[in-house]
Structure 1
């Protein structure tokens, strides 16, 4: 990619005789990888040349330790039949007097615990071998013929051989981000890069030192050969950092073929209540809801659900952030209930400001990973979180920087590129699209529903034409002459008749004897002013305005005469009958309890919280 040279695709990659082999444009393939990572957070990348070049176990490739893949999260490159064994040390726990000017990292205690951790991991290997022996004994006792048991038995024999030969371990860390915050060091800063490298150099030296001690006590891993490892870059770094350690290793060997890793530690960090693995804190504050009593004067109701339960939003804090709040004199319980703008003022004072997964300098984060990787003989599982508006060029820069600084692999997650993944509660203000609509064409006939209401002392009817089960148009007029029959009818059809170049609307219904009766000219008894208002309402119905908003619009018409206002109220009552139960009105604050609890029930507004009803 960097040199612009073509790339030869091979499958299988290491096969002497391939099924597929062709030359392609490396730049084209790289751009495709970057685009897909930007679009869907897949694929992550493994820098395989770096993995193999740095791998200590690959010094024994001809003895069966050739790396062919990794565990699912990518932190341990593995040969066939070997195991992924993980242990994590909580770095936050080694910070004395955290979040104060006197904060310091206790390196002596850390060194002691690193040596204990390596001894523990070696003991776990012996337990694993005991369990493998138990499995093999069980297979031996099984009544099936040897030919049936052969595959399973062969598999476990190979696993046992790899466990005995290499005794691979995976000691790692968690809470790197919180360790830095507790020391007052911003994640991604040059100071953080230097300090993190110091911590992991210490971890590497002490675990390897204890592996040499265990080799002296218990014996080295059986295939240890110092000459094979002499030119390995990782072993050379150990020799430069501590000549005495290297000399002891030459004399006594080493108990384990490889020792170190950094896993994601997601579940582990939930238990320690810290940041996970090498990562910065994902977010300092989250919003959650709790159910509250709407009659509690101290409750701050921010949401009422569809069954009428009242809820209050509150902040949930990253646990070390709460510790920082207390040290700095804040009351976490009070901060928890602050408005977002007030909370942000406090967050800007904290050591996590500009150091979360969302706003850290992403390229600096990759540099930190590269500095740490120098002292991890396996690999590091890392995801670089970038905002939704991150460009493909940024994704490419992150991946290329990772390769340049010596990372062995990484993934990138652009917010919103995958569903079901953690997302930010920050809402981007996007302008609502303003679109035009075209009313569906009116068929010649529409089903209709008839309502009766009183306008002052006069009986009126409202005929509502329905299309696809929704109100499409409305006709209203006095129930006089032939229209008095409509007071006895509940449904029928509205027919659109073209006559002499003009449209006429007739009403047709079926009488009790089954005969169709048509009343021509619905507009005959309509006052012109009422007719124009009805045309206005029909227009917004045809263009799909939600019924609660249509009702709100009609209710808020400012009409001068009492007769028009009575007519308006009748139209509102008729339209409300079509609003489904449980629908919220456009303004749903109850006039009695002042909560957002109003919903439609059988055409009337009821409050789910206090029981108020406008129809009682």
Structure 2
């Protein structure tokens, strides 16, 4: 695979007289050593008939139903073709007229941005992205659009609009109005004006063109800001995209204003633009004695930049949408990024999030950006500058671009060679630059896993130990992962193997080493995970990196479960003030109930819920902000493998066998009931009851599955029939009553298991008369292996390891991703 990719990307160098085989060998060594990986579509598309190598696209949507090439349904068609090739799409819905406004041609009322967003979402739900996964998309609406309030709340129920991330496009004017507690107008060009006919621009362009604006509503800016913050606190969406910050760094303002990003928010693009991304692996640049191998990093960045520039020419794009190739070749955007920052900081003994960590990350990213730009200038000398350079910020005759500067002064010396930005300025004046944009920090969920990074992208490490589920020809293998760097640090501290194993057992349960007293304090200081880092530190790390990224970056600001709405608001304000181009937040557990929890938390809950415990009073102001926690899918998808318990019970309809399967966290997930011969009325009734109970367990509900089973017991218990069976407490009055009794026994045994009480070796007595036994099969007995407890419940494997990271969601246990 590595050779296929290396050769087919290098083949375009024939255009420049380069030795193709020599270049291919260089690319092969670069990626096979895991020093650099391009984005996944490059791996899957290079050298294939598909040949589409880009991961992210932005498509325009104009206020037109069918005549314009960028009309609503023409764009939907283009997006569907892109998703079939493995690309994700971003859209700004801001140009669509508000819901209910006049449509002159039909004398009807407009559907509005949110309505068409739902149309797009339903369409994308039927399209597999690249034939392998559901489509990933981003929807953006300006903060001054009249429908913005509906947009903010359109994903309150997360079973709706499941194929989109959503973000509000924020302006500086809005944030200043929030600070000043000023009024804010929701406005749109007057669709009744003759000047609106044929106009397809933004609100700002309407003002410049003399198209009159209609103010639909005026409200306090802080009230609208609060709506955004409360919804983000509820389930992580919408995010914020800072339009003015992005456009201040727009390399080609003469072509367009930036309005939208790709699905994970790190790549701002103009209409029909796309970008081929790649990441250098910082974990491959570890120097001796906790240092950085700066020379290796420089070499990797140089060759990776050449690789990405070649991808622009090697890409087949989507022939049915010719605007994609035209836009790509016009600006030749590339997105050089990083992965393994967390690994490098562990190696260097620097705490992620600290001021020292912010400066270290800044110095690393400046080094990457500098050598990416230096290489791009050299490529311009050899191959020519990007065609749209005239009028851009890189125009050699009217150079607007200025070298980037750090947020924090660079005072520490980590042995990094000097960078000379004046040489870059001189080079652009003389040769121009090959690529209008050079750097992006993208999500690296798949490629970082393959590369063996502990820290994905620019994120901190999420867990020092976890269980990875691997499907080996239909068999589920559980592989215990432990951080090699953490283990090496423990070894250097002289901790014996037995104690190290005990430490990892605790880390597996807690997700962090911060409360493990056996871990030396100096190791605890460095080996922090995402949950150990404050939200402010997350934001400041993002800003430190953003200063040397000309596009943007994928990062999630993770909050603890007890975070308040005001905590989220403060993060948004800080991100704007520090010059970030966007922000995504996530309050742990806000999207779905965290089933696996620490023993300490579980014991606290038991005390709070104990009989006689004092009620917890919630002030009215706080209770207004409480949102229900949902099991979000309309019906949870079934994982390939589930462990379960099979019972037998005598009923008036004969012997029944009931299998109760559990998902992650020992939650009941489904029930199978078999009685009599297949095809009989008895068998059909038992199957029907099993299906209904299973659906109750898998449907979206704020009530956890065990509570739902308790209600099933209450509904079925005591139902009488014509032929009751047995006597006393084990009397089975009917088939439904027998089902209820088995479910009740299962719940009791489940409680015993979770309280770590030893399972009895003897079989328990059956509920049916005659004392039929139903021992728990050995295969179904819970193992002593610690369960991962670092995130939400994964819809694929059921483990509590589904985390928000890099602007998307991924599972550390099975690799499932919603990026």
TM bracket (short chain): 0.5 to 0.7
* Residue number in structure 2 paired with 1:124: 311
Unaligned runs of 5+ in 1: 137-151, 291-310, 437-543, 548-571, 612-616
Task: State the distance in 1 between where 2:181 and 2:774 align.
Answer: 71
* Residue number in structure 1 paired with 2:281: 90
Task: State the distance in 2 between where 1:37 and 1:285 align.
Answer: 29
Task: State the distance in 1 between where 2:387 and 2:330 align.
Answer: 5
Q: Where do 1:406-445 residues align within 5 Å?
A: 406-419=579-592, 428=601, 429-430=604-605, 431-434=607-610
**Bigger Cα Rg:** 1
Task: State the distance in 2 between where 1:30 and 1:231 align.
Answer: 37
Residue pair 2:437, 2:550 contacting (<8 A) in 1 also: yes
Task: State the distance in 1 between where 2:742 and 2:466 align.
Answer: 34
Q: 1:595 aligns with which of 738, 751, 759?
A: 759
* Residue number in structure 1 paired with 2:324: 159
SS at match of 2:350: coil
* Residue number in structure 1 paired with 2:548: 375
SS at match of 2:180: coil
Residue pair 2:243, 2:258 contacting (<8 A) in 1 also: no
* Residue number in structure 2 paired with 1:364: 537
* Residue number in structure 2 paired with 1:213: 378
Residue pair 1:357, 1:384 contacting (<8 A) in 2 also: no
SS at match of 2:540: helix
* Residue number in structure 2 paired with 1:66: 257
Q: Where do 1:7-22 residues align within 5 Å?
A: 7-11=184-188, 13-14=203-204, 16=206, 17=211, 21-22=216-217
Write out per-residue CA displacement over residues 290-341 of structure 1, whole angstroms, 9 at most, x where no aligned residue: 9xxxxxxxxxxxxxxxxxxxx9999642454344445555577874466528
* Residue number in structure 1 paired with 2:459: 279
Displacement after TM superposition at 1:35 (Å):
0.8
* Residue number in structure 2 paired with 1:469: none
Task: State the distance in 2 between where 1:114 and 1:341 align.
Answer: 35
Q: Where do 1:160-559 residues align within 5 Å?
A: 160-225=325-390, 228-229=393-394, 232=400, 235=403, 237=405, 242-274=421-453, 275-286=455-466, 316-328=481-493, 335-336=500-501, 339-340=505-506, 344-346=516-518, 349=521, 350=523, 355-419=528-592, 428=601, 429-430=604-605, 431-434=607-610
With over 3 angstroms needed to count, the CA separation of the structure-2 counterparts of 1:610 and 1:32, relative to structure 1, is closer
Residue pair 2:346, 2:526 contacting (<8 A) in 1 also: no
Task: State the distance in 2 between where 1:115 and 1:241 align.
Answer: 16
Task: State the distance in 2 between where 1:65 and 1:422 align.
Answer: 47
Q: 1:608 aligns with which of 768, 776, 785?
A: 776
Write out per-residue CA displacement over residues 335-356 of structure 1, whole angstroms, 9 at most, x where no aligned residue: 4466528973355653576721
Query: Are 2:575 and 1:575 aligned?
Result: no
What is the TM-score of this pair, normalised by structure 1? Answer: 0.62
Aligned residues: 427
SS at match of 1:254: coil
SS at match of 1:2: helix
Between 10-19 and 384-393, report the one with greater CA deviation.
10-19
Write out per-residue CA displacement over residues 414-466 of structure 1, whole angstroms, 9 at most, x where no aligned residue: 01111289986576222353569xxxxxxxxxxxxxxxxxxxxxxxxxxxxxx
SS at match of 2:276: coil
With over 3 angstroms needed to count, the CA separation of the structure-2 counterparts of 1:424 and 1:268, relative to structure 1, is farther
Task: State the distance in 1 between where 2:421 and 2:403 align.
Answer: 11
Task: State the distance in 1 between where 2:537 and 2:758 align.
Answer: 51
SS at match of 1:23: strand
* Residue number in structure 1 paired with 2:681: none
Q: 2:218 aligns with which of 23, 38, 47?
A: 23
Residue pair 2:490, 2:519 contacting (<8 A) in 1 also: no
Residue pair 1:182, 1:351 contacting (<8 A) in 2 also: no
Displacement after TM superposition at 1:78 (Å):
0.5
Displacement after TM superposition at 1:241 (Å):
5.3
Query: Are 2:233 and 1:57 aligned?
Result: no
What is the TM-score of this pair, normalised by structure 2? Answer: 0.47
